[in-house]
Amino acid sequence: MATLQQIVTEKKSAAGMVAKIGAAFYVMWGILHIYVGILVLSKLLAHGLPVGTDAGRSVMYFWLVILVGVQAILVSIFLNWRNSHAGYWINAWTSIVGDLGLVVFMMIPGNLSFAQGISGPVLCAPALVCSTYALASARAIKKQRS
């Protein structure tokens, strides 16, 4: 029969594994954003810096898409991988708000098709579910110990 310490250790190990799976999905979400940002920026900048406010905004937007991708990857590697509360909230809010903006401002008005825009939310959903489960499991384990 397993002791309480063994059960707690197994649950903690499982929560850590699920946190790592969530972190891996956030890394993929970040890579997707870096890829899209570089792809579009390279097209926008193919003939030099574009002139005009709208063109400048487009360049700035995709520059920020790249930075959000880098941020998601770094937070995943250094925080989500360790099941950190701070990492959880940083990547959860960044990905949820970012993908919500994509849906509301790009997909619903028809500026981006469903097929073109769904990959971000598809990567965000399991990242969020796994990270939430891992954090909740870690919290439950701490309550059991006290």
Question: What digits encode the pLDDT tens for the residues 32-66?
Answer: 999 999 999 999 899 888 788 888 898 999 999 99
For the chain, the structural domain boundaries read: 20-145
Residue 49 is predicted with a pLDDT of 81
pLDDT at 12: 72
Q: What pLDDT, in 10s, does the model give residues 72-85?
A: 999 999 999 999 99
Which pairs count as long-range contacts for 142-145, CB under 8 Å and 24+ apart, including other chains? 144/8, 145/8
DSSP state of 96: H
- pLDDT tens-place string over residues 91-136: 999 999 999 999 999 999 999 999 999 999 999 999 999 999 999 9
- CA nearest neighbour of 91 among 58, 41, 135, 140: 135
Torsion of CA 44, 49, 51, 52, to 10 degrees: 70
Q: Given 3-state DSSP classes, what are the helix, strand and coil percentages for the chain, each rounded to the nearest 5?
A: 85, 0, 15
Contact by Cβ (8 Å): 8, 141: yes
